[in-house]
Structure 1
Amino acid sequence: MNMAGIDPKQQAVLTAAWTAFSTYGFRKTSMDDIAKGAGMSRPAVYLHFKNKEAIFRTLVQGYYARAQADIAAALAADGSLGAKLAAAFAGHGGAAMESMMSSPHGMELLETSMSVAGETIVEGEAALSALYAAWLQAEADAGRVKLPAAPQDMARVICACLKGIKKSAAGYAAYRADVSSYAALCAQALEA
């Protein structure tokens, strides 16, 4: 899980942590596991992160930063409304989704996200919702979409539905299929 603009040693810790969390689960991963994976001593890891909770929160922040960039790029790209939404919704899940859903500890990692990084998630979801709302408003103003409700409300529903798909999918392939279906449904509903 690469994060732009981060110190290479911190990136090594984050990459090792994600690998360990995916392999062992959050609870069973130790700072020693992370340090070994990063090729560092445990005290060296503590120079960069207070504990594994801080590492996990940083991973969640990175996920939201990447999702924002991917969604913004998808919504700004040329193409049909359906193609834009399909790309944006795929970016919403990001590359981390496949890794998490492929892990035998995926559900634990989702649960850990809320307990360890709840505030970060609330902020990240608000940022994604604001991004969708601004795009919906601009598209409505240009006459390219029709909105059955306020753009902020529509954006909140989009994010809530994507979260529901993530939590209920039986695996990554099902998740991708459901996200694609949802994008098609939204495009049809929003078509001007």
Structure 2
Amino acid sequence: MSTANPDPKTQIILQAAWEGFSAYGFRKTSMDDIARGAGMSRPALYLHFKNKEAIFRALVEGYYATARAEITAALQVDGALSQKLARAFAAHGGETMEAMMTSAHGMELFEASMSVAGEAIEAGEASLRDLYTDWLADEAAQGRLRLSGEACDMARLFCACLKGVKHTSQSFETYRRGVQDYAALCAQALQL
């Protein structure tokens, strides 16, 4: 899972945690497993995080920070609207989506996300909606796309539909194709 935390020790801990969660699931991964994976003692790990739930929330927050940066970059690249949206929507899920959907414990990780990191997900989703809202409003003001309603409504639809693609896909390949198809559909609707 991508993280945007610049502290090297925290990065090592989060990477070890992600590897443990992916391999064993959230419930079966212990703080001992994470400490061992990070090459540190359990007491040293507790100096950084109070429990594995806090680690999981940090992973979710890192995912959203990375997604924001990658979506912003994708939307700023010159190119056709369909290409911009395809890159942005692919970045919306990022490498994390592939890792979760190909893990034997992917469904458990999706469930843990909601129960352990619901507030972080809510805040992250709001930040992505805001990013899309600002981009759509700016692009419409510059005459580069056509909005039939409010930018915030279209941004909300982007996020809701991408979540729907994620929750209804049986494999990462199905998810990837669904995201591409949705980007093409949105680009058609927004074209001048």
**Is TM more than 0.5 here?**
yes
* Alignment of structure 1 residues 48-63 onto 2, 5 Å: 48-63=48-63
| Percentage of identical aligned residues | 64
Which runs of no fewer than 5 residues in structure 2 stay unpaired? none
Match of 1:129 in 2: 129
Find out whether 1:29 has 2:29 as its counterpart.
yes
Compute the displacement of 1:183 (Å).
0.3
Whether the 8 Å contact between 1:89 and 1:183 is mirrored in structure 2 is yes
CA distance in 1, matches of 2:88, 2:105: 26
Q: Which 5+ residue runs of structure 1 have no aligned equivalent?
A: none
Tell me the distance in 1 between the aligned counterparts of 2:142 and 2:19: 44
Residue in 2 aligned with 1:146? 146
Q: Amino acid of the residue matched to residue 51 of structure 2?
A: N
Q: Scaled by the length of structure 1, what TM-score is found?
A: 0.97
CA distance in 2, matches of 1:124, 1:161: 16
Counterpart amino acid of residue 154 in structure 1: M
- Give the alignment of 1:104-123 within 5 angstroms: 104-123=104-123
Aligned residue pairs: how many? 192
In 1, distance between residues paired with 2:2 and 2:176?
Answer: 22
Could you tell me which amino acid in structure 2 is paired with residue 111 of structure 1?
Answer: E
TM-score, scaled relative to structure 2: 0.97
Aligned partner letter, 1:127: S
Greater displacement, 135-144 / 84-93 = 135-144
By how many angstroms is 1:184 displaced?
0.3
Q: Quote the offset at 1:95 in angstroms.
A: 1.0
One-letter code of the match for 1:145? L
Supply the distance in 2 between the matched residues of 1:170 and 1:120 (Cα, whole angstroms): 25
Superposition RMSD on alpha carbons, in Å? 0.9
